[in-house]
Amino acid sequence: MPTCSKCDDKVPKVYDCDHTHSEEYCVECYTELHYYLTEKNND
Ligand SMILES: [Zn+2]
Ligand SMILES: [Zn+2]
C-alpha cells in the first residue's frame, strides 16, 4: 500500500500533481493542499 508523503499514513490510493512537487499525497492531504491554494487565489 502506498504511503502519503505528508501525513505518513498508508492509504489505498495516493494523488500527485505539480503542487505536491511529485510527492504522493493521500486524498485528505491532497484536498487540503488544494483547499489552501484555492483560498490563496481568492483575494
Ligand atoms: Zn496524507
Ligand atoms: Zn494541484
Tell me the ligand closest to 41's alpha carbon: 2
Q: What is the pLDDT of residue 39?
A: 86
Q: What is the rounded CA–CA span in Å between residue 21 and residue 28?
A: 17
For residue 22, report the distance from its CA to the centre of ligand 2, in Å.
10
For residue 2, report the distance from its CA to the centre of ligand 1, in Å.
11
Q: What is the pLDDT of residue 40?
A: 75
For residue 34, report the distance from its CA to the centre of ligand 2, in Å.
6
Q: What is the pLDDT of residue 21?
A: 94
Q: What is the rounded CA–CA span in Å between residue 9 and residue 41?
A: 29
Is residue 33 within 8 A of residue 18, CB to CB? The reply is: no
Is residue 28 within 8 A of residue 38, CB to CB? The reply is: no
Tens place of pLDDT for every residue, the chain, 43 residues? Answer: 999 999 999 999 999 999 999 999 999 999 999 998 888 766 6
C-alpha cell at 11: 492509504
- This prediction's pTM: 0.82
Q: What is the rounded CA–CA span in Å between residue 30 and residue 6?
A: 9
